Amino acid sequence: MKFRTLGKNGIKVSALGLGCMGMSQFYGQTNDSNSLEVLNTAIELGVNFFDTSDMYGNGHNEELLGKLIKMSKNKFMVATKFGIKARSKEGAWIIDNSPEYIRQCCDASLKRLGVDCIDLYYLHRLNPNQPLDETIGTLGELVKSGKVKHIGLSEVSAETITKAHNIFPITAIQSEYSLWTRNIEHNGILSTCRNLGIGFVPYSPLGRGFLTGTIKSIDNLDNNDFRRATPRFQKENIGANLKAVKTIETIAEAKGCTTSQVALAWVLSQGEDIIPIPGTKRIKYLEQNIESINIQLSDSELELLNKSFTPNEIIGSRYSESAMKSLPY
């Protein structure tokens, strides 16, 4: 395993983390025994950075990682999140960043994980109608009290990152980033992180599985898979989006690797300060993902991928209309 440093605070983590959301919710059927097998295999292969949230399976995902912490002899870093309270009748997220709710969520996460301190605690979504200084100030208090080691933010603007960092040091920013979601390159988020010495953690670096080339139709997805409601996966859009994926497939065939490995190698090549957290429920794909760390893309391959995945080439938004309302861009 190769390692990278998350932020100027010098947290050493595996170059590839593991997103655990799908082990509890959103991507079809789940199985705790299988998930624990994948998690233990990840540790054996050198992964020491696991990502979860209190809202994944309404706490189930944290409880699953709590079982891993209890049974494993290895030390590893767990990042979890708070802030998404529920859904409205219209399907929009109800977001709470109030000090009282933060403290309540932190204590609940500590209990589910079975730990005394959370390694990295993210604000999952920002409520712009609540004072940022109170939110970040409360997180800072949790650090000072020993309940949290480091704090992070998820899906916030460059302006918010700067303001928050001036209130209390931010260690990591998490946002969606992959070949087909490259907003952070153009809206100042990535450059702001680098200017401030903040680590960047891309979630969905495989485009929710689409960049693996295995999803050819919405019919490939389980009935309870949330991607069925995601615009990019709809029948009227998926055909056009598959054209861009063919570029990845061509490069993968020439290099003798998988499509997913090329897609992950691209994300990893964007900077040593970037630690992707692809998710999977299968050991086979876990092993493939980790091997992407050793794949080098040439300048010509990188140029071809960059040209194939521009905003004009990707059809449809990355979330449903109601979910997009909780994002700053």
Of 54, 16, 50, nearest in space to 35 by CA: 50
Which DSSP category does 118 fall into?
A: E
Among the listed residues 56, 101, 122, 177, the single catalytic one is 56
Contacts of range 296-303, beta carbons closer than 8 Å, 24 or more positions apart: 296/265, 297/251, 297/262, 297/265, 297/266, 297/269, 301/251, 302/266, 302/269
What's the CA gap between 163 and 154, in Å, rounded? 14
Nearest to 202 by CA among 253, 128, 263: 263
Query: Which DSSP category does 238 fall into?
Result: H
Active site residue 56: yes
Structure tokens at 150: 């480091």
Question: Dihedral sign, CA of 306, 327, 132, 99?
Answer: negative
DSSP calls for 244-290: HHHHHHHHHHHHTS-HHHHHHHHHHTT-TTB----B-S-HHHHHHHH
Dihedral (C-alpha) 320, 236, 174, 202: value to the nearest 10 degrees?
160
How many other C-beta atoms can be found within 10 angstroms of the C-beta atom of residue 226? 17
d(CA 209, CA 139): 33
The H-or-E segment that residue 239 falls in is helix 235-255
* Residues carrying an active site annotation: 56
